[in-house]
Amino acid sequence: MKKACYISLFLMLILMGLLGYRYYWDAAIEQDILAANGYRTTIGEEYRTVNFFVKPEWVKIRSKKPQSMHDVVTSIGNSNIVLSEVRLREEVQDIYFTFTLDNKLPRLKGYFLTQNLGNASNDIKMPVLELRGDHEQVIELGQFAQGPAQSFSFGINLEEIEALNNGFSVELRIYYGVQYEKY
């Protein structure tokens, strides 16, 4: 009985170690790629345009509590942009959307998105975010925030709620594209 318990405990520790290693794996690979540590990289000079659609069911607010989600809105290369939270903020009268960037990076080569790289002169370009409803109707953006890490958020004033009924499209330019290959 004791032997079976020890074997089970040992196997659980190995599994937890592997899961922890995998969790940090992508961050370590990304850091090596961006530092050109064993990788040839091509980083885009300009922000890459990313388009996606926010479905109407994601806009429906069922309570005043933030709605945690994990819906992939688009995939580009080895990157997924994920809608992670929607909440009604009564204090500022808006609906607030939070998105995260989830990179799953193969070790040998691939393409991924990343935020906040400076260009050669270390200037940070201003991000662009445009929202459109039915028939390309412009939806006014309330607030916009980048970070922490690879996330961004924006608010849409409740005055614009009618424009969200059928969902809306997002055109976003806050990410640089990175092509890489291990040498």
How confident is residue 50, by pLDDT bands cut at 50, 70 and 90? very high
When pLDDT is averaged across residues 174-182 and rounded to a whole number, the result is 92
pLDDT of residue 168: 93
Does 136 score more than 60 pLDDT?
A: yes
Q: Does pTM top 0.75 for this prediction?
A: yes
Query: Which pLDDT score is estimated for 22?
Result: 53
Residue 174: which residues within 8 A CB-CB, separation 6 or more?
47, 115, 127, 128, 129, 146, 152
What mean pLDDT comes out for the span 58-76? 84
Give the mean model confidence (pLDDT) for residues 28-42: 87
Instruction: State percent of the chain over pLDDT 90.
Output: 36
Mean pLDDT of 165-181: 92
CA gap 129, 141 in Å, rounded? 8
What's the pLDDT at 67? 81
Six-digit token string for 31:
């850091």
pLDDT of residue 119: 47
Percent of the chain with pLDDT over 70: 87
Q: Provide the phi-psi class of 106: left if phi over 0, else alpha when psi is between -120 and 50, else beta.
A: beta
| Secondary structure (DSSP) of 25-37 | HHHHHHHHHHTTS
Higher per-residue pLDDT: 32 or 73: 73
C-alpha 51 chain-centroid distance = 13
Give the confidence band of 19 by pLDDT, cuts at 50, 70, 90: low
Question: CA-CA distances (angstroms) from residue 97 to 47, 66, 117?
Answer: 21, 10, 23
CB 181 within 8 Å of CB 29: no
